[in-house]
Amino acid sequence: MVDEYIWGSVSRLSPEAPVPVVEVKAESFRLGGASNVAANIQSLGGSAVLVGVVGSDLPGERLIQEIEAAGMKSDGVVIDRTRPTTIKTRVVAGSQQIVRFDRESIADLSKEAADRVLEMVTTQLADVDAVLISDYAKGVICKRIARQIISLARRCRKIVVVDPKVHHFSLYKGATVITPNHHEALAFARLPAWGQEDLLAVAGKELLQKLEVQAILVTRGEAGMSLFEDGRATHIPAVTKEVYDVTGAGDTVLAALAMAMASGASLREAAFIANHAAGVVVGRAGTATISREELLTALKASTKYDPPTSSSPSDGGR
């Protein structure tokens, strides 16, 4: 996925319609989707093996060039001539996003493209410590691919961490950890969208039971994160001082969480680390990555941080 930005300023309205006129100052082209997750792994000092799909077009060619410029191999990138490369274009004036327009196909992959994706994953699986699935509901992650990857990974005793879309939750039964946001978790449990911690605890417990995963890490924006394990809930407050842009923050959470777990951290430790990583990137404009040094600095700066509190999910995590 391409995250394209058009940066500018606004000083007047158009005489043609009641819309702002953006005076363009700069444009940028950034890795998005699974490629941003992989870029975060690389910047944190890991080694990412990226598998994904692009179209046979100029954006796809440039995306492959950017992947290689970020220090990753593009061997796992499948070129599908039947679909375009997904592009999200955001027009930003000052610190305000004016509009976003998407060019994409969300149809499921053809059997040929799906076969190639599964072949790439199967070939690389033995040499990795963890499998990350970044599901943006753009047609790559379908029932067949999700189920086969998780089955293969479990057979090889690999950590599986998933950033899911709510209508795909059932595909990730048996994963190690899934990282839905607050609204997705509540929607899955058919609870009000703006539930309190007690409702979120109900959703977390239901997800644990139905998906048979080790943990659910719910990202809650300015409220931080909540980690639900069997019999225990841990609430971790946000650490960022100012939220500038949440674009791609879930990618950073997925990368940092999996990296920490693959390095031997407990689930609580990994969630704490991922929370600090997210706190850094949301203070930046646009899709961003975090380096190992920046993460260490953020962790060292949290010396006054109170340890996360744990409780039974049944009491709302208070």
Which of the residues are catalytic? 251
Q: How many CB atoms lie within 10 A of CB 84?
A: 15
Whole-angstrom distance, CA of residue 310 vs CA of residue 318: 8
Contact indicator for 263, 14 with CB cutoff of 8 Å: no
Distance in angstroms (rounded) separating the CA atoms of residues 145 and 171? 9
Question: Quick check: 86 and 104 in contact, CB under 8 A?
Answer: yes
217, burial (CB in 10 Å: exposed 0-12, middle 13-18, buried 19+): buried
Q: How far apart are CA 260 and CA 173, in angstroms?
A: 22
Residue 204 three-state SS: helix
d(CA 219, CA 207): 14
Please report how many Cα atoms fall inside a 13 Å half-sphere around the Cα of residue 88, on the Cβ side.
Answer: 17
DSSP state of 15: S
Alpha helices in the chain (DSSP H): 34-43, 58-69, 111-124, 143-155, 182-188, 197-211, 249-262, 267-281, 292-300
